[in-house]
């Protein structure tokens, strides 16, 4: 019974097209053979059956059909590229592995297709081509000017040649989470974590503004980010906003998130609702009580009318005085009638002055954040009682300090939006927790 098999196998092996088929058959024969041997001792009649079936099986395999279908099965080449500023149609098609005169000619003539290289480079292009490098289908996607929508150019080869169309649609927002441990610097870690450049830049900007956190991250510190991407067909077309960030330094966690109140500009806040905006200002006392406002008045000590260039806050001696904004201390010491005096310079040629202090807790040249302790309320210099004389200067000119309350009221979370803020903050805490797990998983 076995003598039928060797010639058949050798015949198959002679033809290189069928080598794979032969191997498969060999395995089949071996399996049948084992079965045959195990059955054979029991019944010689049964033992004949598998072999006969095997021969019939081989006869029914239409090897010519299989070979043809193998050759005819369309080979499709998929490739993607991003358009570059220097691209011509030729360089782009070459990078995409397309060598097709008809396609190149259509793409250069067709109005819709010309959008491919018009406007902003960086369009996401994908193609399908056959084994002759002929273009079957080209799809290009790019975000619209406003960034909320996308355009999609589709070029297809049909029986009558190429056709094109441009479709528009809404980009899908998606939230990305990631985190990393710093080995050398934040920038290096952001690169390793494959953070998109705009997100890495926003992250560095946020880090520089986190209250009570004015040092850079160093080895062993970590960060987590939550950011949005705008996608179409599963491809990221645009990086959106940084939505939240977490910095862990010496085991201490600092979390911030993006929040936009209705009708407001939006900005980053700690999850407790404190704005980290560089321009954010607050009054220097926790519970300010104005005893003498800004404007003309009779000076309580000298008696004559003169402009009061600040605001006096009546407050018990020892009450903490906090920096009204981020800045650098440019004076800390005794200054005539001002007594113990602190001057802080801020951005945009703004400065704040604090007088009559009982004690000073900063030194000249020190960087301070909004809310940092400068000293305590006292009665030093020319003062009739414990009070903080506070001045707000823009380009050296005194301004009404009440302007600060107005500004800070705009920048702190109002009671009406507090619930919305809490809801967003709760989600953000969960997302930042998840982001830190992403790093653990990838580290393992």
- From the CB of 310, what's the least distance to Zn ion, in Å? 5
What CA–CA distance (Å, rounded) separates 165 from 107?
12
Which of residues 82 and 307 has its CB atom nearest to Zn ion in the complex?
307
Which of residues 290 and 328 has its CB atom nearest to Zn ion in the complex?
290
- For the chain, what's the residue count? 444
Say if strands 305-308 and 161-170 run parallel, antiparallel, or are unpaired: unpaired
Q: Does 356 bind Zn ion (CB under 5 A)?
A: no
Residue from 209, 195, 295 nearest 239 by CA: 195
Tokens of 159: 């029986």
- From the CB of 181, what's the least distance to Zn ion, in Å? 51
Residue nearest to Zn ion (CB): 389
Q: Where are the beta strands (DSSP E) in 250-339?
A: 252-259, 267-270, 290-292, 295-298, 305-308, 311-314, 320-322, 327-334
Which of residues 346 and 389 has its CB atom nearest to Zn ion in the complex?
389
Which of residues 221 and 312 has its CB atom nearest to Zn ion in the complex?
312
- From the CB of 388, what's the least distance to Zn ion, in Å? 9
| Selected binder of Zn ion within 157, 389, 411, 424 (CB under 5 A) | 389
- Residue range at the interface with Zn ion (CB under 5 A); choices 91-99, 257-265, 304-312, 407-415: 304-312
**How many angstroms separate the Cα of 57 from the Cα of each of 11, 46, 54, 239, 320?**
16, 17, 5, 58, 95
- From the CB of 391, what's the least distance to Zn ion, in Å? 8
Which of residues 333 and 385 has its CB atom nearest to Zn ion in the complex?
385
Distance of alpha carbon 359 from its chain centroid, rounded? 45
Which of residues 322 and 389 has its CB atom nearest to Zn ion in the complex?
389
Which of residues 141 and 389 has its CB atom nearest to Zn ion in the complex?
389
Phi, psi (5° rounding) for residue 20? Answer: -65, -40
DSSP state of 275: B
Residues 310-339 that bind Zn ion (CB under 5 A): 310, 312
Distance of alpha carbon 324 from its chain centroid, rounded? 31
DSSP state of 302: T
What CA–CA distance (Å, rounded) separates 320 from 318?
6
- Residue range at the interface with Zn ion (CB under 5 A); choices 22-30, 105-113, 280-288, 381-389: 381-389
- From the CB of 334, what's the least distance to Zn ion, in Å? 17
- From the CB of 307, what's the least distance to Zn ion, in Å? 11
Binding site for Zn ion (CB under 5 A): 310, 312, 389
């Amino acid at each position: 019974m076995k003598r039928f098999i060797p010639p058949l196998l050798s015949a198959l092996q002679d033809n290189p097209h069928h080598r794979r088929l032969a191997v498969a058959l060999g395995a089949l024969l071996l399996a049948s053979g084992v079965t045959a041997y195990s059955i054979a001792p029991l019944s010689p009649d049964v033992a004949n059956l598998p072999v006969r079936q095997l021969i019939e099986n081989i006869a029914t395999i239409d090897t010519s059909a299989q070979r043809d279908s193998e050759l005819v099965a369309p080979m499709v080449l998929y490739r993607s590229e991003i358009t570059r500023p220097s691209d011509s149609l030729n360089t782009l098609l070459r990078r995409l592995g397309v060598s097709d005169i008809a396609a190149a000619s259509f793409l250069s003539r067709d109005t819709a297709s010309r959008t491919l290289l018009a406007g902003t480079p960086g369009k996401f292009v994908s193609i399908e081509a056959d084994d002759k490098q002929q273009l079957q289908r080209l799809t290009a996607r790019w975000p619209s000017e406003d960034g909320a929508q996308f355009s999609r150019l589709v070029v297809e080869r049909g029986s009558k040649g190429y056709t094109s169309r441009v479709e528009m649609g809404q980009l899908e927002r998606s939230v990305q989470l990631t985190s990393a441990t710093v080995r050398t610097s934040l920038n290096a870690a952001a690169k390793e974590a494959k953070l998109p450049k705009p997100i890495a830049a926003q992250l560095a900007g946020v880090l520089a503004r986190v209250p009570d956190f004015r040092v850079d991250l160093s080895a062993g510190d970590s960060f987590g980010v939550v950011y949005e991407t705008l996608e179409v067909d599963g491809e990221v077309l645009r990086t959106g906003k940084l939505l939240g960030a977490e910095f862990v330094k010496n085991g201490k966690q600092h979390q911030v998130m993006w929040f936009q109140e209705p009708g407001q500009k939006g900005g980053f806040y700690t999850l407790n609702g404190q704005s980290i905006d560089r321009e954010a200002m607050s009054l220097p006392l926790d519970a300010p009580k104005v005893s003498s406002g800004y404007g003309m008045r009779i000076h309580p000590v000298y008696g004559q009318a003169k402009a009061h260039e600040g605001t006096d806050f009546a407050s018990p001696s020892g009450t903490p005085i906090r920096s009204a904004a981020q800045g650098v201390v440019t004076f800390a010491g005794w200054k005539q009638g001002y007594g113990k005096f602190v001057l802080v310079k801020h951005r945009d040629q703004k400065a704040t002055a604090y007088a009559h202090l009982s004690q000073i807790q900063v030194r000249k040249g020190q960087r301070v954040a909004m809310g940092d302790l400068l000293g305590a309320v006292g009665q030093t210099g020319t003062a009739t009682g414990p009070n903080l004389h506070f001045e707000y200067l823009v380009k050296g000119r005194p301004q009404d300090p009440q302007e600060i309350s107005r500004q800070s009221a705009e920048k702190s979370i109002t009671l009406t939006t507090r619930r919305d803020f809490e809801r967003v903050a709760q989600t953000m805490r969960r997302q930042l927790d998840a982001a830190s797990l992403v790093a653990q998983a990838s580290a393992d």
